[in-house]
Structure 1
Amino acid sequence: MYRETDRDKENSYYSIKIISSNIYVYTACFVSLDAFNILSLDSVSNYYRKYSAFRKEGHFHYIHRTHFGSYSFICVDATLTPGPKRPYNFYGILNQTGVTELAALAEESHHSNQSIWFGHYTTSTIISAAPGIRQVMSSATAYLCGHLHTLGGLMPVLHSQHRQGTLELELGDWMINRRYRIAAFDHDLFSFSDLSFDVWPAVLITNPKATLYSNPAQEPLGRIRNSTHIRILAFSTSSISSVLVSIDGIDLGNAVSTSGPLFVLKWDPMSYSKGLHYIYVKVQDDTGRTVSKEHVFTLEDDVPLRFNLLPSFILLTDHYILVRIIFFLSIAVHVSIIIVFRYLKKPVPKEPPGLLTSACLSLHAFSKSNNFYYPILLFSLYTVVGPWFVGELIDGHVGVCFTFGLIVNGHFLEGSLTYLVGTMQVVCFNFPLNCYLCWCLSLRCRGHCFRAHVRDIGVLRTVPVHLIMLLCFIWQSYSCVFLLQTYGVLAFFISPQRTWSLILTVILIRKTWTSTDSHLRTYIAEMKNYHAS
């Protein structure tokens, strides 16, 4: 686990390197780790303000001017203020004021040759006011972001493209995996390469650019057809000795250095005017280190290539909406089942009940017994409307957590990850508890007692069920421990959804084997008659 002191040291080293690098033009953005566990931007734990060389919070627009045009770089700051502890700082928020500010910056950038937007959060993890962050940045060539990085190594490449054409390019993290990106505009055509630190040479093919990463709405792609040279940027700590180029497996020769890291090789683009083609570049430096780069390109206008489905789903889906739908559906299904069986007429089997009939009868017994119906119904509804816990959402500042958001220091932070946590609560605890209680009631109605039911029914038919419920109970207990470690003792004791639910669970399970409810006695008598017939 990456500790607080580790983050402080990492940011300190970063600051020293930036200041000593003599980089005169740079940009930086506020990220979720900078807004982690801080009440305001003036907090001493605001590492961005403490260590960044730029130290500008909020959205901003930097224009890089050259003799051949200007290029806009727009920062999207969706970090939470105040910034709660994990995990509830996972989503960023853009309110209407923030969206309006970004729309104004987008309007300013129309005078630039190209515009690049950048920010910490992916668009899929930003709760945005209308018309939405993707629509606001639709004039951008690309949006550069982090946050999800490689999803713990599960997705080494997370790239996709908005419906409006803007590329969304997630970058692996620097903190653990030491990933970085080089990018360039070549005649207003945007190219980039994601690289690992201290792997040399670093190579970027700028012309012809990769078709997959083309943005026809913003880039003058026709310039590739009119170009005279293949162009490559190659960097290394040693001198570059060779840059070999081939297209479709045919060697074209060795690109030559013109100035700095730029290497060029004459070509005839009309030889590749039809279809898709494959360019391959092999770069070697004086120490013998070799790196190869390749991509697919085309000079035609109507040969679209599509990004993989999974990265597109991860980057382009508004997950905060999806998890809300799943949460309310899970609650609706659970609550509807027990309410329907509460008022549904009980069936009268004419023969010993089978598995399905027994399950239905147990649901009837459960729903028609006030001892079980009301506690579970209210517990499920409380998951939706009640405060989950009261604790230190920020060190030294007590707040309240609901499904629909957090309240801390007079600020309301709209719910996002809370809906995912709520869904896990319903699926991994509320619903399994309901099923387990019904199963216990079914055994009770069939004349079994707690002490002897394992012997009477068999180990294989009982122990696995108890183990599943035990795992759910352990999961809920771990959630209580997490509350204690993260949000303090207060959160542990004032947590109806977590800590109190464990007490409720023990009481309800005990009642399934000891209750003398009149409805339950009726079911026990009927089930004995069915099995005796």
Structure 2
Amino acid sequence: MKQVVVAWLCVILTLFCSLRACHLYWSSTWELRSAGPSWPFRHNKIAPELEQRQQTHSINHHDQLNILGDQPDGLFYFAQISDLHISKYRPKGHTLHFLQFIQSVLPIIRPEFVVVTGDLTDAKDHKRITSQQYLEEWKTYKMAIDQQPWTNTTWYDMRGNHDCFDLPSWQSRANLYRSYGQSADLVENGQGIYTWQHSPSYGEYQFVAIDACPKRGPSRPFNFFGYLTSSTMDRLASALLKPSNHTFVFSHYPTTTMVFGVSQQGYTFRDLAKHYSVYFCGHLHRLIAGLGDVLQSYDPATKTLELELGDMKDHGMYRIVAVDNDIISFVDARLPLAPSTQLRSTPLIPLSADDKLEWPGKLPMAPVILITNPKESRFVLDNKEPLHRIQSSTHIRFLVFSDESPNQMTFEILIDGKPVIYDDNSNNIDHGDDDPETVNQTTSFITASPRYSGNDKHPLWTLPWNPSAFKDGSHVLSIKVKSASGQTGKSSVIFRTDGRRTKIGGGAGEWIISTHMSTVLQCITLLSIVTMLTLLLIPRFYTDREVSERLLARIHAIDQHAPVGGFRSLQRQILVGALRCLQLPSTQPSVWYGTFSFLLALVTLPWFKAEFIPSGETPSEKFGTFYLYGMVFGTEWVPIADTWMFAAEEVCLDVGVFFALFLLHSVPSELLICGHVKMNRPDDTLQNQRSVIESPWFKGIEVLYWLWRMSEMVALASFYGGIWPTLIQNILVVWLIFVGITLGTSLCSPSNANSNGPNNISAPGKLSWMANGLDGCDGCAKATLKPSIMLDQQYQQEHGTLEPEDCHVVDLDYRFSNSSSSGSSASSTPFNRSPRAKNRKRNRHQ
């Protein structure tokens, strides 16, 4: 009865803590919620606006009779770069790559404008531990743009997470972007959202920039996610709901690393995403191990593209985006490699005393090719592009960016591996598998050669073709350009003339960019906590030993079938896990209460306090409190999703792993094995598993793992102010100390029935019923004779030969002890000889 009362009290406490957790989450996200109309009415209001926008697109795309021919009409292009990480400490890439882009690439591609999507500076110290805003890095960025050799372009930029490291507020003196950013005034006036337009004679194109940096920027590493409050979403909605041929959105953060609020009109970001065509971003640096080679995705619900660009810092990546008669195409290119002498000679901060920039030498650049017609079918935008113009086009169109004159270039253009062939009337012919040379000899058709159709503003090349010859399925267009200096450029696209899309095929990168990472982290964290609480609470309602005996009987039944593999092995592991959970409250009550209390503390209490923003001028600006749901500075919540990322790691690695170890040690594997297996199959894999878990090297791994997790806490303190308050006021440290004491007690205690700690599973009155074999198990019953023989051998070694009647006495004593009550700690065992055997020996020697 007492155990049931304790169980219900624990459940009531859990429910109370759940209410407290909901209150904290509600408080932390109030800036993200809408105070306007309720959600059910949101779609009713947005539907007419979306329909009006689609009608506008329909007029622009279908009613105009633009022909993709051999003239540079209806064409413009711009450039995007991202993640410059201008650094005063990093010698490779970083500053040098940015200067090489301005010096060697920009005068050749000559875009309408350049957009820099964040992380303008690196803001890390020489050890890459602490972070702050460095004046030298910001000056280098500004002077590079102000003193660029080719000045006939406009720059737009926005902040990234590195640009708001250690930033108390926008008005803070530490916010150097406010003085040195190209678009700082636009960001400030638009309160995080600003727009600009490109309005040629053939259309209206809108560009929207988003500054999603947190309003208080902690130092690294808790500054990876961005977010948009409800008021910012209002301004974004005002910008996106304007009609245009195309709207392009730029932000440093991919949508997977953003937390979006809801506008006052009830619009979510997905609602607004239906009103733009492409979302350009950076931030992820192509990830690692090739995961980020294709960080591109298409959302069929909103019919939009999201395109992440690799960094300028290490990979030297830049992007050219062209809009050709409302069909959007792009190419991602890399900087040419710099000679090693240039890498050694370029200073980290190439500024003189009077702020004059020292430019690196100009690099030779291979031709860069951007194919605009036919369009790459993997990036087709349904209902947002006039794809019918591909079917009615008369020419293949592509841009070639090179510093050499057009007449010095040679081309190789293939479709599906074959040269493009046309007749004197410029009509393409699909010759199937015919040899082009044979075709040329027997017909009047000749191999096509491209013609330069551009001007000083648009380096356009065209080639006549007949799209109807490629109306079936997907095809590959490959273009190779060789300059007079021997530099070679290549480009290829997969295209369809029927306007249908093909899969991007980005693998893990496409999945990452299309998910919502903060939601995934929240699910992982909460699901892990709920799972562990469930495993802790359920055994409190099953304290009757009969339940454990039934589980053990099923385990023994599986053990008697050799070998135990496949489904039987999985079934056994599940049963063993259930039995361990049931025995944890009784065998390790301190561990049970400690784990249960800590899990509730994670969702209701602050985790730790730290100096998150060292540049703050007041304690409320410097010091913040870390909760599962965000950070608190003074009385102000910052709903940054970095807390969920850190929580997912800590809950899984610090709580989940040690909780699993506690369960593993709650019942030794030896006591779970049927006696028949112990006696007759000593080499069984089950016995080997037992020896692995209880071996010294496994215990050593436990110690090393604990030391690693504790070192992570020390590393956290090195980021945020040292021992005080980060380590002292930290419930994670308290938990790790508790775990260390518990594991240390088990390692220092002898492995016998009288030991204490996690390995004290066979303490008197708890699991002795398991140690003496399971009543009713045939396998355990068959194993009763073997221990008696072992006892006889041991007795003979110590006291000489036993008489036959002594063997019978010992065997009867063993059988009696094996069937006696297991609750008494004084019960006799085969290894604790009975008084009757001792009396027989004494009488014999008298």
Pairwise same-fold verdict (TM > 0.5): yes
Query: Which of 180, 186, 194 lines up with 2:332 in the alignment?
Result: 194
Q: Provide the C-alpha distance between the structure 2 equivalents of 1:443 and 1:411, rounded to a whole number of angstroms.
A: 50
Q: What is the deviation of 1:219? A: 0.9
Asked if 1:394 is matched to 2:592, the reply is: no
Describe how 1:213-232 pairs up with structure 2 within 5 A.
213-232=379-398
Number of residue pairs the alignment of both structures matches: 521
Give 1:5 shift. Answer: 5.3
> Secondary structure in 1 aligned to 2:404?
coil
Matches within 5 A, 1:57-456: 57=187, 58-108=192-242, 110=243, 112-130=244-262, 131-152=267-288, 153-163=290-300, 164-198=302-336, 200-240=366-406, 241-252=409-420, 253-257=448-452, 258-260=454-456, 261-302=459-500, 304-348=502-546, 349=549, 362-368=580-586, 369-395=588-614, 396=616, 397-443=622-668
Question: Equivalent of 2:705, from 462, 472, 475?
Answer: 472
- Which amino acid letter does the alignment assign opposite residue 433 of structure 1? F
State the distance in 2 between where 1:328 and 1:230 align.
54
Q: Tell me how large the CA RMSD over aligned residues is.
A: 3.0
- Check whether the contact 1:149–1:158 (CA below 8 A) recurs between aligned residues: no
Q: Is the 8 A contact 1:225 1:269 kept in 2?
A: yes
Q: Say which SS state the counterpart of residue 26 (structure 1) adopts.
A: strand
SS of corresponding position for 2:161: coil
**Superposition map of 1:486-501 within 5 A:** 486-489=719-722, 490-501=724-735
Provide closer, same or farther for how the CA distance between residues 519 and 383 of structure 1 changes in structure 2, counting only shifts above 3 A: farther
| AA of the residue aligned to 1:259 | N
Residue 370 to residue 415, structure 1, CA distance change in 2 (3 Å):
farther
Give the direction of change, closer, same or farther, for the CA distance of 1:209–1:302 in structure 2 (3 Å limit). Answer: closer
Could you tell me how far apart the structure 2 residues matched to 1:217 and 1:243 are?
34
Moved more, 320-329 or 264-273: 264-273
Alignment partner of 1:523 is 2:657: no
- Residue 346 to residue 50, structure 1, CA distance change in 2 (3 Å): farther
Does the CA contact (< 8 Å) of 1:242 and 1:254 recur in 2? no
Instruction: Give, in whole Å, the separation in 1 of the partners of 2:207 and 2:771.
Output: 76
Amino acid in structure 2 at the alignment position of 1:426 = V
What is the alpha-carbon distance in structure 1 between the residues aligned to residue 140 and residue 516 of structure 2? 35
* Structure-2-length-normalised TM-score: 0.57
Question: Contact (CA 8 Å) 1:244, 1:282: kept in 2 or not?
Answer: yes
Deviation larger for 149-158 or 203-212: 149-158
TM-score (norm 1): 0.89
Partner-residue secondary structure (3-state), 1:167: strand
Q: Counterpart of 2:17?
A: none
Query: How far is the alpha carbon of 1:181 from its aligned partner?
Result: 0.3
Which residue matches 1:452?
none
Higher relative contact order (CA 8 A, sep 6+): 2
| Residues 524 and 270 of structure 1, relative CA distance in 2, 3 Å threshold | closer
Given that 1:139 and 1:218 are in contact with CA atoms closer than 8 Å, whether structure 2 keeps it comes out as no
1:275 positional shift = 2.6
Q: SS at the partner of 1:498?
A: helix
Of structures 1 and 2, the larger Rg is shown by: 2
- Per-residue deviation at 1:226? 2.4
Matched-pair contact (CA < 8 Å) for 1:232–1:263? yes
The alpha-carbon deviation at position 376 of structure 1 amounts to 1.2
1 CA distance for matches of 2:235 and 2:254? 19
Question: Any idea what the Cα deviations from partners look like across 1:123-166, whole Å, max 9, x if unmatched?
Answer: 11111123432331222121111111311343212111122211
Distance in 1 (CA, whole Å) between partners of 2:726 and 2:372 is 56
2 CA distance for matches of 1:179 and 1:359?
51
| 3-state SS of 1:522 partner | coil
Summarize the Cα distance change of 1:528–1:310 in structure 2 as closer, same or farther, 3 Å threshold. closer
Tell me the alpha carbon deviations over residues 187-207 of structure 1, each in whole angstroms, 9 at most, x when there is no partner: 111111011012521111111
Q: Please tell me the residue identity of whatever aligns with 1:18.
A: I
Q: Compared with structure 1, are the counterparts of its residues 274 and 444 closer, same or farther at alpha carbon in structure 2 (3 Å cutoff)? A: closer
Which structure 2 segments of 5+ residues have no match? 1-89, 91-121, 127-132, 337-364, 421-447, 557-571, 617-621, 672-689, 750-754, 775-816, 819-846
* C-alpha deviation, 1:445, in angstroms: 11
C-alpha distance in 1 between matches for 2:481 and 2:669: 75
- In structure 2, C-alpha distance between the alignment counterparts of 1:442 and 1:486, rounded to whole Å: 40
> Is the 1:477–1:502 contact (alpha carbons within 8 Å) kept by the matching residues of 2?
yes
Question: Kindly tell me: are residues 243 and 134 of structure 1, through their superposed partners in 2, closer, same or farther at Cα, counting changes over 3 Å?
Answer: farther
Secondary structure in 2 matching 1:329? helix
Q: Distance in 2 between matches of 1:273 and 1:47?
A: 55
Closer/same/farther in 2, CA of residues 217 and 468 from structure 1, 3 Å limit = farther
Q: Distance in 2 between matches of 1:302 and 1:263?
A: 25
Partner secondary structure for residue 78 of structure 1? coil
Give the direction of change, closer, same or farther, for the CA distance of 1:83–1:47 in structure 2 (3 Å limit).
Answer: same
Query: Would you say the 8 A contact 1:123–1:134 is kept in 2?
Result: no
Residues 365, 441 of structure 1: 8 Å contact kept? yes
CA distance in structure 2 between the aligned counterparts of 1:194 and 1:477, rounded to whole angstroms:
43
* Structure 1 position 299, deviation (Å): 1.4
Q: Which moved more, 1:312-321 or 1:437-446?
A: 437-446
Cα deviation for residue 88 of structure 1 reads 2.4
Q: Which residue of 2 aligns with 1:508?
A: 742
Cα offset, 1:510, TM superposition: 4.8
Identity within the alignment, % = 26
Distance 1:458 1:107 in 2: 67
SS in structure 1 at match of 2:154 = coil
Looking at structure 1, the residues matched to 666 and 241 of structure 2 have their Cα atoms a distance apart, in angstroms, of 66
Between the aligned partners of 1:305 and 1:483, the Cα distance in structure 2 is: 42
2:316 alignment partner AA: R
Q: Tell me, in whole angstroms, the C-alpha distance in 1 between the residues paired with 2:209 and 2:314.
A: 24
Flag the structure with higher strand content: 1
Contact 2:667 2:761 in 1 (8 A): no
Letter in 1 for 2:390: I
Structure 1 residues 181 and 372: CA distance shift in structure 2, 3 A = same
2:237 counterpart of 1:18: no
Q: Distance in 2 between matches of 1:331 and 1:254?
A: 66
Residues 23, 35 of structure 1: alpha-carbon distance in 2 compared, 3 angstrom cutoff: farther
- CA 439–316 in structure 1, closer or farther in 2 if over 3 Å, else same: closer
How far apart are 1:483 and its partner, in Å? 1.5
Give the corresponding residue for 1:484: 717
Q: CA deviation at 1:461?
A: 3.9
